[in-house]
Amino acid sequence: MNFLHNNWAVRLGLLLISMAVTVVVGCQGGTLPGEINQVLPTVQPTTTMAPVTTPTLVITPTLTATTTPESEGLTLTFWTIEAISPKAPAELGSFMAGSLRAFEANNPDIKVKVLLKKPSGKGGILDFLRTAREAAPAILPDVAIMNATDLTQAQANGLLQTLDNRLDRSIVQDLLPAARKMGTVDERLMGVPLSLEMEHTIYNTATFTTTPILWSDVLSSNSRYLFPAKGTNGLVNDATLAQYFSAEGSFHNDQGTLQIDDRILRRVLTFYQQALELGIIDSTVLDAATSEELWPIYLEDQTGLAQVSVRQYLTDREALTNSTFTALPVPDKDSTPVTISHGWVLVLITDDLERQRAALRLIEWFLSTSNNATWNNINKSIPSRDTAFQQLAGNDPYWAFLTEQLNTAQPQPGFAGYDQLGRIFQQAVEQVLRGEATPGEATATAVDALTP
């Protein structure tokens, strides 16, 4: 995420000032290489990071360096969310605060003003970018953090600058394919995720004699299958979306027009109906929007199988007995397991060339291998860079499994019209799980809802 000061006494004072809703830090000029020497610790594959001690955060006015002429430096504006800021809980906030201070030490000709926005909706990053562009373009940020699902809309609105041929080449070439896919819109790199998040299945090895990877394995298990079926913000849940993609479902036809593959949707819904009739799933899964809500149920007796996030598994893996991981269930042996990936991406906003150079230094700082590995180690998530991934993975077989999952991962859709499609799909799932419609009836309703 780039800053300024020549007077050492002022710099020392700034280092001791606490950060809050608005944070000001500074940084050094010059081109930042893909790999840089930093004061932050290097992460070992299985090391638990020690907390970084930082001053207590207090709300203060925006700081200005009145002793240094503005012409001698540059102040970047950085919009982010609380979870990715010095105000984030515990180690995450400490890391962000320490990383910004380290960036200041390496870039004394740049200051950064950090402003917090809501993650989504009115007052969120995308909403504020749209509003400010029309009403007050002078307050637009130079750099921002944005939900990857908003990238397509932001790019269509002309709010972003491409990172192609701008971001350090060594970083771009080191991005995991899943990270590159998440940040790409219309074949242009418009953002880079700090981390990747996704889900998979965990199951009891005493219950299943073979890995329950097929729908038929789940149906014949006589054991409960837990997955969050409620969805988020009315959109279809990740499990259904992943299973639709695994069965080679698509949301666009050859002409690029929105579509619902009725044969595949009916097939997914039939799997749910059969599992419902066998008591393997029940309508209570509709009460859970996230896998974290169902996790205590699995932990209680660790039987059957459940959908779990990478973060939750890495957090609780030591407490698991007779449990191991696998991909989400797929229709048949010819199907490719798919998981849905999520992330928050760094984006470039300013079109001023001088400010772009400074802003890119800030982006490259957070994407250095050391910072990327440290952030994801603390956050229990997947790095966007391969070198950082390998640093955390070591010889752990779980990370080898994650590599396989990333190779077929699909980012949560964000194309125009997906809100409508996602709601239609979720309504079909709920109709079947509540026993209000057969798979055929729910599919027909879904197709009719999409038809103009």
Q: Where are the alpha helices (DSSP H) in 305-385?
A: 310-316, 353-366, 369-379
- Residues near 414 by beta carbon (within 8 Å), at least 6 away in sequence: 148, 149, 150, 151, 152, 153
Instruction: Compute the average pLDDT of residues 342-348.
Output: 98
Backbone angles phi, psi at 67, to 5 degrees: -85, -10
SS3 232: strand
Residues 265 and 281: their CA atoms lie apart, in Å, by 18
Instruction: Write the pLDDT tens digit of every residue in 230-274.
Output: 999 999 999 999 999 999 999 999 999 999 999 999 999 999 999
Give the model's confidence band at 72: pLDDT under 50 very low, under 70 low, under 90 confident, else very high. low
* Cα 146 from Cα 265, distance rounded (Å): 31
> What average pLDDT does the segment 96-101 reach?
93
Spatial separation of the C-alpha atoms in residues 231 and 4, rounded to whole Å: 45
Cα distance between residue 117 and residue 95, in whole Å: 19
Q: Tell me what percent of the residues of the chain surpass a pLDDT of 70.
A: 84
**Averaged pLDDT score across all residues of the chain:** 86
Each residue's pLDDT tens digit, 133-170:
989 999 999 999 999 999 999 999 999 999 999 999 99
Give the predicted TM-score (pTM) of the model: 0.83
For 185-193, what is the mean pLDDT? 97
Q: Which domains does the chain have, with CATH numbers?
A: 8-196+343-399 (3.40.190.10), 213-298+328-338+417-450 (3.40.190.10)
- Phi and psi of 282, rounded to 5°? -140, 170
How far from chain centre, in Å, is Cα 63? 31
Residue 6 has pLDDT above 60, yes or no: no
